[in-house]
Structure 1
Amino acid sequence: MLYSVRMRAAAGGSHESGGAHISGAERLLEEDRIEKTAAEMIRRALSHTKGKADFIRLTIEGIDDHEITRIPGLPIETWEAANYEEGRKHAGEFLVNAGVKAQAVDRAFTALTALHSNMRGAMLLDAVTGERLDPGGNRGVRVSRMDLENEATFGAWLSRQGLDNSHTREALVLASKVLSAPETLAELCWSDDPEYVTGYVAIKGLYHRITKLKALNDPRGGRVFFIHPGSDIDALKLYLETRAVLVFSGED
């Protein structure tokens, strides 16, 4: 059995009561690693660059081995961008080349840049029309219950590419789970960390890491999942929110 350890932190009260999102983290762990990991998550919530949380929710849940799916991590390709305008131009081209229609790409960028506060989850957009398919608002769909299959092996794989940092590890695990769902065509994301400007476009078989997708010190971030028309949204949400997934490195 493994344990899903999940943390969400906000300032000004809980997320549900309007508190500003500060930090979140997800791990799938053996029992003997729970205590140390939980302490690290709490420290992260109390010392984040976005501020100090006054609401922290920690959830620990046992998951049987037969309930866990194992998938490969997406291969990584890095694109250097001189500024975030150039980065977004590259991102749009990657999405269109993957089959996302231009109007859906435009609606995604419009929705992300119009955010006044951070999304707690991801927007689901129809990959053809750009219509929003989740309930709307700032909640979106939260991807949960995921981690690395072998942290040391995965870290070594990333290190050989000069990318072994927490931002890349966490984003790659999430994107790999999202793109493993048959309903998902692509993902667009940039971080809500004011000091982290790198974002990505994930498509089937590739994680496009783009070095600049937002302006430095911009605290807004979010993600959009582009969904095949006619997909079963309830089945997709069930997989993304509840199915436990372990991601192994692309070399394994």
Structure 2
Amino acid sequence: MSEILIDDDAGVRIITLNRPDRLNALTGAIMAPLADACADAARDASVGCVIVTGAGRGFCAGGDLKEGGADKAVVSPNSDSGSRTEQGFARLRAFMETSRLLHEMPKPTIAMVNGPVAGAGIGIAGACDLRFAAKSASFLAAFDRIGAGGDFGSTWFWTKILGTGVARELFLLGEKLSGEEAFAKGIYTRLFDDETLREETIKAARRLADGPRMGYRYMKANLNNAEDWAFEAALDAEALNMTLSTSATALIWREKKKQAGGSND
């Protein structure tokens, strides 16, 4: 059984974590192909929007500690790979490319949170531009329960999204939030009945995939710049990206009009 499922639907790439019996908890066997799937979606020009979700009744329960998480393939210290700590760091950091790709790829990304999300899963959800959740969804940092600091960009994303005060509350107190509570805090972008979540998410994703892709590319770049850049630098980038995006969009519209048999004027 493949632990990552890939489906294409009218310009929408749906990436599904497929370990429903373990609430899609992460092991090396799922994290490596997940990072590859995100990289492929980022470079595939036919893809206009990416949805990440989980099979069964959960989104992602974090690392599967019973299966060794990211460290299962770490071997004894050696001259090629270094110490066990070095190997563990390199392996985990490679898996965490999933979060970087979802956050930085030049196309919209949506986390379709169909149930519980915890641990590394909140990093993956936070990496996406939008988070559409079912009312049965919950949210739990969970790192305090295993004495861990956080991974998959979770501390960075949630500080950016919610502010440092709320992020510290979530991580340090480690309280589980219901779907409604998470939505009220701004964790989830939209909240739907369980039976309509997939339909509503795909509807939004298709709208994005059918929209001005060059516009979204530069819009996302501006939004990402705003997280860290000084205001003047962000203004410079906005001016450049506005010019690039409108020029690209105008060219695309002219080509479509030409193909439809209209005038180029």
Tell me the TM-score range normalised by the shorter chain: under 0.3
The higher-RCO structure (CA 8 Å, 6+ apart) is 1
TM-score scaled by structure 1?
A: 0.28
Task: Indicate the structure with greater strand content.
Answer: 1
TM-score by structure 2 length? 0.27
Give the number of the structure whose residues are more often helix, by fraction.
2
